[in-house]
Structure 1
Protein backbone atom coordinates (compact mmCIF):
# COMPACT_ATOMS: atom_id res chain seq x y z
CA UNK A 1 0.00 0.00 0.00
CA UNK A 2 1.80 3.11 -1.24
CA UNK A 3 1.91 6.54 0.35
CA UNK A 4 -0.27 8.14 -2.32
CA UNK A 5 -3.16 5.80 -1.45
CA UNK A 6 -2.65 6.46 2.25
CA UNK A 7 -2.72 10.22 1.70
CA UNK A 8 -5.91 9.96 -0.33
CA UNK A 9 -7.59 7.81 2.32
CA UNK A 10 -6.57 10.19 5.12
CA UNK A 11 -7.85 13.20 3.18
CA UNK A 12 -11.27 11.60 2.86
CA UNK A 13 -11.23 10.33 6.44
CA UNK A 14 -10.49 13.77 7.85
CA UNK A 15 -13.41 15.29 5.94
CA UNK A 16 -15.78 12.53 7.06
CA UNK A 17 -14.73 12.88 10.69
CA UNK A 18 -15.33 16.64 10.56
CA UNK A 19 -18.79 16.09 9.07
CA UNK A 20 -19.58 13.91 12.09
CA UNK A 21 -22.23 11.60 10.67
CA UNK A 22 -20.39 8.28 10.26
CA UNK A 23 -19.21 6.01 13.06
CA UNK A 24 -16.10 3.83 12.95
CA UNK A 25 -17.85 0.91 11.22
CA UNK A 26 -19.38 3.19 8.59
CA UNK A 27 -16.06 4.92 7.93
CA UNK A 28 -14.23 1.62 7.56
CA UNK A 29 -16.78 0.49 4.99
CA UNK A 30 -17.12 3.67 2.94
CA UNK A 31 -13.41 4.43 2.72
CA UNK A 32 -12.57 0.81 1.94
CA UNK A 33 -15.05 0.94 -0.93
CA UNK A 34 -13.12 3.86 -2.40
CA UNK A 35 -10.13 1.56 -2.81
CA UNK A 36 -11.87 -1.71 -3.67
CA UNK A 37 -9.47 -2.29 -6.57
CA UNK A 38 -6.34 -1.92 -4.41
CA UNK A 39 -5.29 -5.47 -3.61
CA UNK A 40 -2.87 -4.49 -0.84
CA UNK A 41 -5.11 -1.95 0.87
CA UNK A 42 -4.27 -2.14 4.59
CA UNK A 43 -7.53 -2.51 6.55
CA UNK A 44 -5.73 -2.72 9.91
CA UNK A 45 -3.94 0.58 9.23
CA UNK A 46 -7.23 2.24 8.23
CA UNK A 47 -8.96 0.99 11.38
CA UNK A 48 -6.22 2.48 13.55
CA UNK A 49 -6.38 5.81 11.72
CA UNK A 50 -10.16 5.95 12.08
CA UNK A 51 -10.07 5.23 15.81
CA UNK A 52 -7.31 7.77 16.40
CA UNK A 53 -9.05 10.58 14.51
CA UNK A 54 -12.49 9.90 15.96
CA UNK A 55 -11.07 9.92 19.48
CA UNK A 56 -9.20 13.19 18.86
CA UNK A 57 -12.30 14.82 17.37
CA UNK A 58 -14.40 13.68 20.35
CA UNK A 59 -11.83 15.10 22.78
CA UNK A 60 -11.78 18.45 20.95
CA UNK A 61 -15.57 18.59 21.09
CA UNK A 62 -15.47 18.79 24.90
CA UNK A 63 -14.32 22.40 24.55
CA UNK A 64 -16.92 23.46 21.98
CA UNK A 65 -19.30 26.25 22.89
CA UNK A 66 -22.87 24.97 23.05
CA UNK A 67 -25.19 25.03 21.31
CA UNK A 68 -23.12 24.49 18.18
CA UNK A 69 -24.28 25.60 14.76
CA UNK A 70 -25.23 22.00 14.06
CA UNK A 71 -27.35 21.91 17.23
CA UNK A 72 -29.14 25.04 16.04
CA UNK A 73 -29.54 23.59 12.55
CA UNK A 74 -31.15 20.45 13.98
CA UNK A 75 -33.52 22.64 16.00
CA UNK A 76 -34.36 24.61 12.84
CA UNK A 77 -35.01 21.49 10.78
CA UNK A 78 -37.13 19.98 13.56
CA UNK A 79 -39.26 23.13 13.56
CA UNK A 80 -39.55 22.98 9.78
CA UNK A 81 -40.71 19.38 9.97
CA UNK A 82 -43.41 20.48 12.42
CA UNK A 83 -44.45 23.00 9.75
CA UNK A 84 -44.82 20.12 7.25
CA UNK A 85 -41.62 20.94 5.39
CA UNK A 86 -39.58 17.74 5.09
CA UNK A 87 -36.05 18.76 6.11
CA UNK A 88 -33.09 16.42 5.67
CA UNK A 89 -29.45 16.54 6.78
CA UNK A 90 -26.69 15.28 4.45
CA UNK A 91 -29.23 13.86 2.00
CA UNK A 92 -27.16 11.87 -0.47
CA UNK A 93 -24.15 13.18 -2.37
CA UNK A 94 -25.79 15.37 -5.00
CA UNK A 95 -28.87 17.54 -5.38
CA UNK A 96 -30.59 14.77 -7.33
CA UNK A 97 -29.94 12.34 -4.46
CA UNK A 98 -31.53 14.76 -1.99
CA UNK A 99 -34.57 15.37 -4.15
CA UNK A 100 -35.11 11.64 -4.54
CA UNK A 101 -34.84 11.10 -0.76
CA UNK A 102 -37.36 13.89 -0.12
CA UNK A 103 -39.76 12.57 -2.76
CA UNK A 104 -39.68 9.10 -1.20
CA UNK A 105 -40.43 10.44 2.27
CA UNK A 106 -43.19 12.72 0.97
CA UNK A 107 -44.84 9.76 -0.76
CA UNK A 108 -44.70 7.66 2.41
CA UNK A 109 -46.10 10.49 4.52
CA UNK A 110 -48.89 10.96 2.00
CA UNK A 111 -49.73 7.26 2.29
CA UNK A 112 -50.43 7.69 6.02
CA UNK A 113 -52.47 10.84 5.52
CA UNK A 114 -49.89 13.57 6.12
CA UNK A 115 -49.85 16.19 3.36
CA UNK A 116 -46.63 18.20 3.38
CA UNK A 117 -45.98 21.65 1.96
CA UNK A 118 -42.51 21.05 0.60
CA UNK A 119 -38.96 20.09 1.43
CA UNK A 120 -35.51 21.36 2.34
CA UNK A 121 -32.11 19.65 2.43
CA UNK A 122 -28.35 19.90 2.03
CA UNK A 123 -26.23 17.11 0.55
CA UNK A 124 -22.69 15.85 1.06
CA UNK A 125 -21.11 18.13 -1.55
CA UNK A 126 -22.72 21.11 0.19
CA UNK A 127 -21.30 19.96 3.50
CA UNK A 128 -17.82 19.49 2.02
CA UNK A 129 -17.85 23.17 1.09
CA UNK A 130 -19.16 24.18 4.52
CA UNK A 131 -16.30 22.43 6.35
CA UNK A 132 -13.78 23.83 3.87
CA UNK A 133 -12.74 27.40 3.31
CA UNK A 134 -16.12 28.74 2.14
CA UNK A 135 -17.97 28.20 5.45
CA UNK A 136 -21.34 28.52 3.69
CA UNK A 137 -24.07 25.89 3.58
CA UNK A 138 -26.57 25.90 0.73
CA UNK A 139 -30.08 24.51 1.19
CA UNK A 140 -32.21 23.22 -1.67
CA UNK A 141 -35.97 23.62 -1.35
CA UNK A 142 -39.25 23.39 -3.24
CA UNK A 143 -42.95 22.85 -2.75
CA UNK A 144 -44.22 19.27 -2.86
CA UNK A 145 -45.95 19.93 -6.20
CA UNK A 146 -43.42 22.36 -7.77
CA UNK A 147 -45.98 25.17 -7.54
CA UNK A 148 -44.19 28.54 -7.48
CA UNK A 149 -46.25 30.41 -4.90
CA UNK A 150 -46.14 27.53 -2.44
CA UNK A 151 -42.40 27.17 -3.06
CA UNK A 152 -41.91 30.83 -2.13
CA UNK A 153 -43.96 30.27 1.02
CA UNK A 154 -41.73 27.29 1.87
CA UNK A 155 -38.58 29.35 1.24
CA UNK A 156 -39.76 32.22 3.43
CA UNK A 157 -40.66 29.84 6.26
CA UNK A 158 -37.19 28.25 6.03
CA UNK A 159 -35.54 31.67 6.19
CA UNK A 160 -37.69 32.84 9.09
CA UNK A 161 -36.91 29.78 11.18
CA UNK A 162 -33.18 29.83 10.39
CA UNK A 163 -32.93 33.50 11.33
CA UNK A 164 -34.92 32.92 14.51
CA UNK A 165 -32.31 30.35 15.47
CA UNK A 166 -29.44 32.78 14.93
CA UNK A 167 -28.21 32.04 11.41
CA UNK A 168 -27.12 34.58 8.81
CA UNK A 169 -29.24 33.75 5.77
CA UNK A 170 -29.07 35.01 2.18
CA UNK A 171 -31.58 34.45 -0.62
CA UNK A 172 -32.27 36.60 -3.67
CA UNK A 173 -35.94 35.58 -3.97
CA UNK A 174 -35.44 33.45 -7.08
CA UNK A 175 -36.74 29.88 -7.06
CA UNK A 176 -33.71 29.00 -9.18
CA UNK A 177 -31.38 29.98 -6.34
CA UNK A 178 -30.78 28.01 -3.17
CA UNK A 179 -30.91 29.48 0.32
CA UNK A 180 -27.48 30.19 1.79
CA UNK A 181 -26.44 30.01 5.43
CA UNK A 182 -23.30 32.14 5.58
CA UNK A 183 -20.34 31.80 7.95
CA UNK A 184 -21.50 28.53 9.42
CA UNK A 185 -19.10 27.06 11.97
CA UNK A 186 -19.62 23.34 11.49
CA UNK A 187 -18.99 21.32 14.64
CA UNK A 188 -20.43 17.83 14.97
CA UNK A 189 -19.36 14.51 16.44
CA UNK A 190 -20.78 11.13 15.54
CA UNK A 191 -23.78 10.29 17.72
CA UNK A 192 -25.42 7.40 15.80
CA UNK A 193 -28.63 9.40 15.40
CA UNK A 194 -30.79 9.20 12.28
CA UNK A 195 -31.52 12.86 11.57
CA UNK A 196 -33.50 12.07 8.44
CA UNK A 197 -36.03 9.30 7.86
CA UNK A 198 -36.74 8.28 11.46
CA UNK A 199 -36.64 11.80 12.85
CA UNK A 200 -38.91 13.24 10.13
CA UNK A 201 -41.56 10.56 10.67
CA UNK A 202 -41.39 10.85 14.45
CA UNK A 203 -42.00 14.61 14.30
CA UNK A 204 -44.58 14.49 11.52
CA UNK A 205 -46.65 11.79 13.22
CA UNK A 206 -46.45 13.52 16.60
CA UNK A 207 -47.71 16.85 15.31
CA UNK A 208 -50.24 15.74 12.70
CA UNK A 209 -53.47 13.76 12.75
CA UNK A 210 -53.23 10.66 10.59
CA UNK A 211 -56.27 10.07 8.45
CA UNK A 212 -55.79 7.44 5.79
CA UNK A 213 -57.28 4.04 4.84
CA UNK A 214 -53.98 2.40 5.78
CA UNK A 215 -54.06 3.95 9.25
CA UNK A 216 -57.67 2.93 9.79
CA UNK A 217 -56.83 -0.62 8.72
CA UNK A 218 -54.04 -0.74 11.28
CA UNK A 219 -56.39 0.50 14.01
CA UNK A 220 -58.95 -2.21 13.23
CA UNK A 221 -56.51 -5.12 13.23
CA UNK A 222 -56.44 -7.36 16.33
CA UNK A 223 -53.30 -6.74 18.32
CA UNK A 224 -51.89 -10.17 17.41
CA UNK A 225 -51.95 -9.15 13.74
CA UNK A 226 -49.52 -6.27 14.25
CA UNK A 227 -46.20 -7.40 12.89
Structure 2
Protein backbone atom coordinates (compact mmCIF):
# COMPACT_ATOMS: atom_id res chain seq x y z
CA UNK A 1 0.00 0.00 0.00
CA UNK A 2 1.28 3.45 -0.95
CA UNK A 3 3.11 5.27 1.86
CA UNK A 4 1.23 8.52 1.21
CA UNK A 5 -2.07 6.66 1.46
CA UNK A 6 -0.93 5.11 4.73
CA UNK A 7 -0.01 8.57 6.04
CA UNK A 8 -3.47 9.91 5.12
CA UNK A 9 -5.16 6.93 6.77
CA UNK A 10 -3.18 7.39 9.99
CA UNK A 11 -4.16 11.07 10.02
CA UNK A 12 -7.86 10.18 9.67
CA UNK A 13 -7.59 7.53 12.39
CA UNK A 14 -5.87 9.90 14.83
CA UNK A 15 -8.43 12.61 14.13
CA UNK A 16 -11.42 10.33 14.66
CA UNK A 17 -9.89 8.98 17.87
CA UNK A 18 -9.24 12.53 19.11
CA UNK A 19 -12.85 13.51 18.38
CA UNK A 20 -13.85 10.58 20.57
CA UNK A 21 -17.33 9.62 19.45
CA UNK A 22 -16.56 6.56 17.29
CA UNK A 23 -15.64 3.04 18.36
CA UNK A 24 -12.79 1.24 16.48
CA UNK A 25 -15.14 -0.58 14.07
CA UNK A 26 -16.83 2.71 13.18
CA UNK A 27 -13.44 4.28 12.46
CA UNK A 28 -12.60 1.27 10.29
CA UNK A 29 -15.77 1.94 8.27
CA UNK A 30 -14.84 5.63 7.92
CA UNK A 31 -11.45 4.66 6.47
CA UNK A 32 -12.97 2.18 4.01
CA UNK A 33 -15.61 4.69 2.91
CA UNK A 34 -13.01 7.43 2.46
CA UNK A 35 -10.78 5.24 0.30
CA UNK A 36 -13.52 3.18 -1.33
CA UNK A 37 -11.85 3.32 -4.75
CA UNK A 38 -8.53 2.02 -3.45
CA UNK A 39 -7.64 -1.54 -2.47
CA UNK A 40 -6.55 -1.27 1.16
CA UNK A 41 -4.73 -3.68 3.41
CA UNK A 42 -7.62 -4.10 5.84
CA UNK A 43 -5.52 -6.01 8.37
CA UNK A 44 -3.06 -3.12 8.49
CA UNK A 45 -5.93 -0.64 8.89
CA UNK A 46 -7.43 -2.63 11.78
CA UNK A 47 -4.04 -3.02 13.46
CA UNK A 48 -3.28 0.70 13.11
CA UNK A 49 -6.66 1.66 14.57
CA UNK A 50 -6.13 -0.67 17.54
CA UNK A 51 -2.63 0.71 18.15
CA UNK A 52 -3.72 4.35 18.04
CA UNK A 53 -6.82 3.61 20.08
CA UNK A 54 -4.72 1.94 22.79
CA UNK A 55 -2.32 4.90 22.86
CA UNK A 56 -5.24 7.28 23.36
CA UNK A 57 -6.78 5.16 26.13
CA UNK A 58 -3.43 5.11 27.95
CA UNK A 59 -3.07 8.88 27.54
CA UNK A 60 -6.59 9.37 28.91
CA UNK A 61 -5.52 7.85 32.23
CA UNK A 62 -3.45 10.99 32.87
CA UNK A 63 -6.28 13.45 32.13
CA UNK A 64 -7.52 15.77 34.84
CA UNK A 65 -11.19 15.21 35.64
CA UNK A 66 -13.69 16.54 35.03
CA UNK A 67 -12.49 17.17 31.48
CA UNK A 68 -13.99 20.05 29.54
CA UNK A 69 -16.14 17.58 27.64
CA UNK A 70 -17.43 16.07 30.88
CA UNK A 71 -18.38 19.55 32.08
CA UNK A 72 -20.00 20.29 28.71
CA UNK A 73 -21.97 17.05 28.99
CA UNK A 74 -23.30 18.26 32.36
CA UNK A 75 -24.28 21.57 30.78
CA UNK A 76 -26.12 19.92 27.90
CA UNK A 77 -27.96 17.55 30.24
CA UNK A 78 -29.15 20.53 32.29
CA UNK A 79 -30.22 22.37 29.15
CA UNK A 80 -32.28 19.41 27.95
CA UNK A 81 -34.16 19.34 31.25
CA UNK A 82 -34.78 23.08 30.83
CA UNK A 83 -36.43 22.41 27.47
CA UNK A 84 -33.46 23.10 25.20
CA UNK A 85 -32.64 20.09 23.01
CA UNK A 86 -28.83 20.05 23.23
CA UNK A 87 -27.01 17.82 20.73
CA UNK A 88 -23.32 16.92 20.82
CA UNK A 89 -21.54 16.56 17.48
CA UNK A 90 -24.91 17.00 15.80
CA UNK A 91 -23.59 16.96 12.23
CA UNK A 92 -20.54 17.73 10.15
CA UNK A 93 -21.58 21.30 9.25
CA UNK A 94 -23.90 23.89 10.81
CA UNK A 95 -26.57 23.07 8.23
CA UNK A 96 -26.29 19.37 9.08
CA UNK A 97 -26.73 20.27 12.75
CA UNK A 98 -29.82 22.38 12.12
CA UNK A 99 -31.36 19.55 10.12
CA UNK A 100 -30.56 17.00 12.85
CA UNK A 101 -31.95 19.22 15.62
CA UNK A 102 -35.24 19.69 13.77
CA UNK A 103 -35.37 15.95 13.02
CA UNK A 104 -34.90 15.02 16.70
CA UNK A 105 -37.47 17.57 17.86
CA UNK A 106 -40.06 16.15 15.44
CA UNK A 107 -39.71 12.84 17.28
CA UNK A 108 -40.40 14.51 20.64
CA UNK A 109 -43.99 15.64 20.07
CA UNK A 110 -45.05 14.14 23.43
CA UNK A 111 -42.72 16.69 25.11
CA UNK A 112 -43.87 19.52 22.85
CA UNK A 113 -45.06 21.83 25.63
CA UNK A 114 -41.69 21.63 27.42
CA UNK A 115 -39.35 22.21 24.46
CA UNK A 116 -38.29 25.82 23.86
CA UNK A 117 -35.54 25.37 21.30
CA UNK A 118 -32.22 23.70 20.66
CA UNK A 119 -28.44 24.09 20.67
CA UNK A 120 -25.58 22.19 19.08
CA UNK A 121 -22.00 22.10 17.89
CA UNK A 122 -20.64 20.40 14.79
CA UNK A 123 -17.87 17.99 13.86
CA UNK A 124 -16.15 20.87 12.07
CA UNK A 125 -16.19 22.82 15.34
CA UNK A 126 -14.47 19.94 17.13
CA UNK A 127 -11.82 19.60 14.42
CA UNK A 128 -11.02 23.31 14.63
CA UNK A 129 -10.54 23.01 18.38
CA UNK A 130 -8.19 20.05 17.90
CA UNK A 131 -6.16 21.46 15.00
CA UNK A 132 -6.11 25.25 15.41
CA UNK A 133 -7.23 25.76 19.03
CA UNK A 134 -10.47 27.49 18.08
CA UNK A 135 -13.07 28.17 20.77
CA UNK A 136 -16.00 25.78 20.93
CA UNK A 137 -18.85 27.44 19.03
CA UNK A 138 -22.37 26.62 20.18
CA UNK A 139 -25.26 27.46 17.89
CA UNK A 140 -28.81 27.82 19.18
CA UNK A 141 -32.32 28.80 18.17
CA UNK A 142 -35.82 29.01 19.57
CA UNK A 143 -38.25 26.43 18.27
CA UNK A 144 -40.45 29.05 16.62
CA UNK A 145 -37.49 31.35 15.75
CA UNK A 146 -38.95 33.93 18.13
CA UNK A 147 -36.27 36.58 18.67
CA UNK A 148 -36.90 37.28 22.36
CA UNK A 149 -37.12 33.55 23.17
CA UNK A 150 -33.93 32.88 21.22
CA UNK A 151 -32.12 35.54 23.27
CA UNK A 152 -33.52 33.97 26.44
CA UNK A 153 -32.19 30.58 25.31
CA UNK A 154 -28.78 32.10 24.58
CA UNK A 155 -28.65 33.59 28.06
CA UNK A 156 -29.65 30.27 29.66
CA UNK A 157 -26.85 28.49 27.78
CA UNK A 158 -24.30 31.11 28.83
CA UNK A 159 -25.46 30.86 32.45
CA UNK A 160 -25.15 27.06 32.51
CA UNK A 161 -21.71 27.18 30.90
CA UNK A 162 -20.49 29.66 33.49
CA UNK A 163 -21.77 27.42 36.28
CA UNK A 164 -19.22 24.88 35.04
CA UNK A 165 -16.48 27.55 35.14
CA UNK A 166 -16.18 27.93 31.39
CA UNK A 167 -14.95 31.22 29.95
CA UNK A 168 -17.77 32.32 27.67
CA UNK A 169 -18.15 35.04 25.05
CA UNK A 170 -21.45 36.09 23.51
CA UNK A 171 -22.47 39.56 22.42
CA UNK A 172 -26.20 38.96 22.70
CA UNK A 173 -26.58 39.06 18.92
CA UNK A 174 -28.57 36.19 17.41
CA UNK A 175 -26.30 36.25 14.37
CA UNK A 176 -23.41 35.18 16.63
CA UNK A 177 -22.81 31.80 18.17
CA UNK A 178 -21.75 31.38 21.77
CA UNK A 179 -17.98 30.91 22.17
CA UNK A 180 -16.41 28.77 24.88
CA UNK A 181 -12.84 30.05 25.15
CA UNK A 182 -9.79 27.82 25.69
CA UNK A 183 -11.83 24.63 25.39
CA UNK A 184 -9.52 21.64 25.84
CA UNK A 185 -11.10 18.84 23.84
CA UNK A 186 -10.42 15.49 25.50
CA UNK A 187 -12.84 12.63 24.94
CA UNK A 188 -12.77 8.87 24.53
CA UNK A 189 -15.63 6.70 23.22
CA UNK A 190 -17.94 5.76 26.08
CA UNK A 191 -20.70 3.79 24.31
CA UNK A 192 -23.13 6.63 25.03
CA UNK A 193 -25.67 7.86 22.49
CA UNK A 194 -25.47 11.66 22.70
CA UNK A 195 -28.23 12.13 20.17
CA UNK A 196 -31.92 11.19 20.34
CA UNK A 197 -31.64 8.55 23.09
CA UNK A 198 -29.84 10.91 25.45
CA UNK A 199 -32.44 13.63 24.89
CA UNK A 200 -35.26 11.17 25.62
CA UNK A 201 -33.48 9.93 28.75
CA UNK A 202 -33.00 13.45 30.12
CA UNK A 203 -36.56 14.53 29.27
CA UNK A 204 -37.97 11.45 30.98
CA UNK A 205 -35.80 12.25 33.99
CA UNK A 206 -37.25 15.77 34.01
CA UNK A 207 -40.79 14.43 33.62
CA UNK A 208 -40.41 12.10 36.60
CA UNK A 209 -38.98 14.90 38.73
CA UNK A 210 -42.05 17.02 38.01
CA UNK A 211 -44.59 14.43 39.20
CA UNK A 212 -46.34 15.67 42.34
CA UNK A 213 -45.59 13.64 45.40
CA UNK A 214 -48.48 11.63 46.73
CA UNK A 215 -49.75 12.90 50.01
CA UNK A 216 -50.19 10.48 52.85
CA UNK A 217 -53.80 9.79 53.73
CA UNK A 218 -54.68 9.73 57.36
CA UNK A 219 -57.90 8.39 58.72
CA UNK A 220 -59.21 9.80 61.89
CA UNK A 221 -61.68 7.69 63.73
CA UNK A 222 -64.06 9.31 66.13
CA UNK A 223 -64.22 7.33 69.31
TM over 0.5: yes
TM-score if structure 2 supplies the norm length? 0.90
Q: Confirm whether residue 23 of structure 1 aligns to residue 23 of structure 2.
A: yes
| Unaligned ranges ≥5, structure 2 | 209-223
Q: Confirm whether residue 198 of structure 1 aligns to residue 197 of structure 2.
A: yes
Q: 1:172-199 deviations in whole A, cap 9, x for unaligned?
A: 1111111111101111111111112111
TM-score if structure 1 supplies the norm length? 0.88
Aligned equivalents of 1:186, 1:196: Cα separation in 2: 19
**Post-superposition offset of 1:208:** 2.8
Q: How does 1:1-227 map to 2 (within 5 A)?
A: 1-38=1-38, 40-111=39-110, 113-208=112-207
The alignment yields a C-alpha RMSD, in angstroms, of 1.2
Aligned equivalents of 1:136, 1:148: Cα separation in 2: 25
Structure of higher CA gyration radius: 2
The 3-state SS of whatever aligns with 1:145 is coil
Q: 1:152-209 deviations in whole A, cap 9, x for unaligned?
A: 0000000000011111111111111111111011111111111121110111122137
Aligned equivalents of 2:160, 2:69: Cα separation in 1: 14
**Post-superposition offset of 1:34:** 0.2
Aligned equivalents of 1:62, 1:4: Cα separation in 2: 32
Aligned equivalents of 1:110, 1:174: Cα separation in 2: 29
**Post-superposition offset of 1:20:** 0.8
Aligned equivalents of 2:65, 2:133: Cα separation in 1: 22
Structure 1 residues 152 and 133, CA gap change in structure 2 (3 angstroms): same
CA contact (8 A) 1:69 1:187 kept: yes
